[in-house]
Amino acid sequence: SYPGISTRESLMQLNDLLKIIFFNVIRKLMSFDVKDKRIQKKIDWIASQIRETKFELHRQHKELEDALKEQEKLRKQKGKTKKS
């Protein structure tokens, strides 16, 4: 203990210091939690956009395949009528 400071006073100062440290740690953890939730929301939004895009691309790919098949069928019919 320091000269002129009782053990009780030292413990009270230490207790005050620990409270300050504790509340700072809690505040930082809460801040981290808020940031983490915000980042997770962003990740979830991006993932949902990717899923929607994937479904849309799948639908468009199916439409493209159907159109190509239709075109191929039409060209075969046109080829048959030219030969006749």
pTM of the predicted model as reported, rounded to 2 decimal places: 0.54
Averaged over 12-36, what is the pLDDT? Answer: 91
Averaged over 39-46, what is the pLDDT? Answer: 96
Averaged over 77-81, what is the pLDDT? Answer: 87
DSSP string, 40-68: HHHHHHHHHHHHHHHHHHHHHHHHHHHHH
Averaged over 33-43, what is the pLDDT? Answer: 93
H/E stretch holding 39 reads: helix 7-83
pLDDT over 90 (residue 16): yes
Q: Whole-angstrom Cα distance, residue 58 to residue 50?
A: 12
